[in-house]
Structure 1
Amino acid sequence: MLWMLLMRSQACRLCYVRKRLIPKYRPFLACFSTADSQPDKENQRTVETLYKLSVDVRKIRRLKGGVLLEDDTYVEEIVKILRELGADGPVIASILERCPEAIVCSPTAVHTQKELWQSVCKSEGELVKLIGQFPEAFFTVTDQETQKLNVQFFQELGLKNVIISRFLTTAPNIFHNPVETNQRVIKMLQESYRNLGGSEANMKVWLLKLLSQNPFILLNSSASVKETMGFLQELGFTNLDILQLLSKLKGFLFQLGPKSIQNSISFCKNVLKCTDDGLKELVLKCPALLYYPVPVLEERIEGLLKEGISIPQVRDAPMVLELTPQIVEYRMRKLSSLGYSIKDGHLANLSGTKKEFEANFSKIQDKKGRPVFNPVAPLSVDE
């Protein structure tokens, strides 16, 4: 569930530097904002070519009209590259509609990008599928040498190509880090694992799993990681506890600052009415208590109380706080339809993932539908 809250990949960098002066890290799409000062006349050759490709030019004009004003575009060249990869007309039209910036990317740079992505894709068909789903990530053609070095580094680290290709589409920013920066963060994670008592034999598996779950951990600084670990130790968590929290939170633990953690812990301690040791137990059962900010925790506890669930019940099953009030209401209604009252029992059947809840619900339903006697057994009747 925590992964669903996962931060999304941030805006891509510039794929094309316009002739006017643009700050180096200006948001990618801002280059083509219709609010910018632009020439009055569209490039008719570009517009006509896009119409022939069945591209919705009106959509581009409405959302990223600046692209159509560029003097130098490469529509035919980009289309040729996509066709050589096996993309058909509808796929190409969809790509250009959602990422019209592609037509101002240098064909040479796009060829280089294609070769880089092919190095981690099993087939051209898979590559076309990825470009169709994430065209903005593919047509980010800056820092290509840095991207290449990072791909090589991740491969040498032991990450599978399928994971690296997922990173390219969902976490492209990590490939724009200097490779030395990513190497430093990896080294810091390895040292942290050793310092927390992790075994050398399991370190590689642990590290690769952590990265595959949360590649954004590479955007953290070494200082922030050490600060968070030191703060948790001050709160009384042992090295083994912190290692457990780190694994369960999929590395998001390092993205939390001491202030955020302190606020969440103080709130839970007051509302759930528990001691320091009791709170530690709750956090180890439900690490999300550290992750969720106070407003989220407050909303969820209020929702549970509204449904008639007591604070002692929440303390016994803190995992219920991973559910939104809407999910709690829906699940209680389903259980109530079977005559099962959460208010009088444990919250175990309410908690868990959707799959886990449905499995528990089916068991309760089956048990509810069983006959009270065996219908095929002979009846004992007095004559």
Structure 2
Amino acid sequence: MLRLIAASLCLRCQRVAALPLNLRPCSTLNSAENQQTVEALYELSVDIQKIRKLKGWVLHRSPSYTKEVAELLKDMGASGSTIAQIFLVHPEAVLCHPEQMQTQKELWMSVCPNHKQLISIIEKFPASFFTCSSYHDNQRDNIAYFQSLNLNKRIVTKLMASAPQSFSRPVEQDEVMVRTLQQAYQELGGEEANMKIWLQKLLSQNPFVLLKSPDVLRENLCFLKDKGFSTAELLHLLSKLRGFVTELNPHSMSRTLQYSQDTMGCSETQLRDIILRCPAVLYYPESTLAERFKGLLGAGISMSQIVETPTVLELTTQIVNYRIQRLRALGYDIRKGSLAVLNGTKKDFEVSCGKLQLRRERPLFNPVAPLNADD
């Protein structure tokens, strides 16, 4: 009997330990749902069934502050439907103490232009706003640090929203990575006057670069330098890869480069030129490249066309096939023309199709034909 009781307690402890612990240590787990929470969410028109299915543990926590948090959001201009959506996506918000949320609001307003903008961010990134109060000091220090770099407030806000981990950790860690990026920029010949703009663009495109190891960045740049890329070309790659150079490693890049060279049948010099025109080739795994080469060649596109316009490798096989069919319907033979028409965003492609359609419908002007007298 004692063994059964001990086993039961152990299982219960395991279940409790598995619950998220990043909220407030003072909240407790009840065996029954907190009816105060459930009723408050019902009043706000929140889909309780979805919460029970996805994050039912929240409804068992006590105390909760559903009405208080909803009031704080309402005071910032959030509509009823917006508040309901925030609670549905991130029900943990109801467990955040109002005083902590007031502090969080003040922190965010130090970089947000207005309440409307902040509500928009909370709606998209609720987990970034409803964080543990123990991180507030780190957040405050990181905000002050990035502001000291004279970065645009919009960039700082985007960093806080999309990469909250970099603001929750000690500021010293972000300082090390930023210094590494700045040093790499200068050592590769970047101009001091443009460094702030370059850093802003890099952090905006890939906020998670701050969470990477500085050693990985140095190691990857050394590898690419050994492959024959000049300092100017390395700066180009570091900028164009949007920080992905910190997510790669020499082994994966070596395999990708060798596969690409063998498949396209080009020299090392030609391969470097292809990489500079399409840096994405560096971080695609061999399986992805193999699928895309197969799709392009299967559509009748020649390898020489791919080498001439390597950016077509950035498109998935599904997108390529769809665009080829659209172009074929407009009388454009991709096998004989440039692949450049395939590139770009969906909007860019639609513009190209519109021009082809216009060219197809517009009658050719014949200067010898007699003019109509009525004209």
- With structure 1 as the length reference, what TM-score do the two structures score? 0.86
Deviation of residue 375 (structure 1)?
A: 8.2
Check whether the contact 2:22–2:132 (CA below 8 A) recurs between aligned residues.
no
Which residue does the alignment assign to 1:361?
353
Pick from 337, 358, 364 the counterpart of residue 372 of structure 1: 364
Taking the aligned partners of 1:165 and 1:342, their CA distance within structure 2 comes to: 44
Q: How many residues align?
A: 355
Which residue does the alignment assign to 1:12?
none
Instruction: Verify: 1:54 aligned to 2:45, yes or no.
Output: yes
Which residue does the alignment assign to 1:15?
none
> What amino acid does structure 1 have at the position aligned with 2:212?
N
Taking the aligned partners of 2:312 and 2:16, their CA distance within structure 1 comes to: 53
Deviation of residue 367 (structure 1)?
A: 2.6
Which residue does the alignment assign to 1:167?
159
Provide the identity percentage: 46
Pick from 145, 154, 168 the counterpart of residue 153 of structure 1: 145
Structure 2 unmatched runs, 5+: 1-12
Instruction: Verify: 1:242 aligned to 2:234, yes or no.
Output: yes
Q: Deviations over 1:27-46 (max 9, x none)?
A: 859x9xxxxx9643122222
Pick from 212, 215, 218 the counterpart of residue 223 of structure 1: 215
Taking the aligned partners of 1:28 and 1:161, their CA distance within structure 2 comes to: 27
Which residue does the alignment assign to 2:272?
280
Taking the aligned partners of 1:101 and 1:376, their CA distance within structure 2 comes to: 77
Matches within 5 A, 1:157-236: 157-236=149-228
The answer to which of 169-178 and 356-365 deviates more is 356-365
Which residue does the alignment assign to 2:321?
329
Q: Deviations over 1:108-161 (max 9, x none)?
A: 211111111111222122222222232222111341110111111112212222
Taking the aligned partners of 1:355 and 1:53, their CA distance within structure 2 comes to: 39
Which residue does the alignment assign to 1:13?
none
Check whether the contact 1:159–1:208 (CA below 8 A) recurs between aligned residues.
yes
Deviation of residue 255 (structure 1)?
A: 1.9
The answer to which of 97-106 and 266-275 deviates more is 97-106
Matches within 5 A, 1:10-159: 39-142=30-133, 143-159=135-151
Instruction: Verify: 1:310 aligned to 2:324, yes or no.
Output: no
Taking the aligned partners of 2:218 and 2:330, their CA distance within structure 1 comes to: 50
Taking the aligned partners of 1:368 and 1:234, their CA distance within structure 2 comes to: 50
Which residue does the alignment assign to 1:5?
none
Change (3 A) 1:110 1:366: same
Structure 1 unmatched runs, 5+: 1-17, 32-36
Per the alignment, in what secondary structure is the counterpart of residue 335 of structure 2? Answer: helix
Q: For the aligned residues, what is the CA RMSD?
A: 2.6
Q: Deviations over 1:331-366 (max 9, x none)?
A: 111111122111123312222333333333333333
> What amino acid does structure 2 have at the position aligned with 1:54?
S
Per the alignment, in what secondary structure is the counterpart of residue 370 of structure 2? Answer: coil
Higher relative contact order (CA 8 A, sep 6+): 1
Instruction: Verify: 1:298 aligned to 2:257, yes or no.
Output: no
Per the alignment, in what secondary structure is the counterpart of residue 300 of structure 1? Answer: helix
Change (3 A) 1:87 1:358: closer
> What amino acid does structure 2 have at the position aligned with 1:128?
I
Taking the aligned partners of 1:21 and 1:339, their CA distance within structure 2 comes to: 64
Check whether the contact 1:55–1:96 (CA below 8 A) recurs between aligned residues.
yes
- With structure 2 as the length reference, what TM-score do the two structures score? 0.87
Taking the aligned partners of 2:77 and 2:344, their CA distance within structure 1 comes to: 43
Q: Deviations over 1:221-278 (max 9, x none)?
A: 1111110000001111111111111111122122211111111101101111111111
Taking the aligned partners of 1:345 and 1:51, their CA distance within structure 2 comes to: 60
Per the alignment, in what secondary structure is the counterpart of residue 42 of structure 1? Answer: coil
Check whether the contact 1:319–1:352 (CA below 8 A) recurs between aligned residues.
no
> What amino acid does structure 2 have at the position aligned with 1:338?
L
Change (3 A) 1:96 1:370: closer
Change (3 A) 1:254 1:112: same
Taking the aligned partners of 2:368 and 2:99, their CA distance within structure 1 comes to: 78
Change (3 A) 1:38 1:243: same
Taking the aligned partners of 2:81 and 2:92, their CA distance within structure 1 comes to: 18
Matches within 5 A, 1:244-263: 244-263=236-255
Change (3 A) 1:281 1:72: same
Which residue does the alignment assign to 2:330?
338
Per the alignment, in what secondary structure is the counterpart of residue 341 of structure 1? Answer: coil
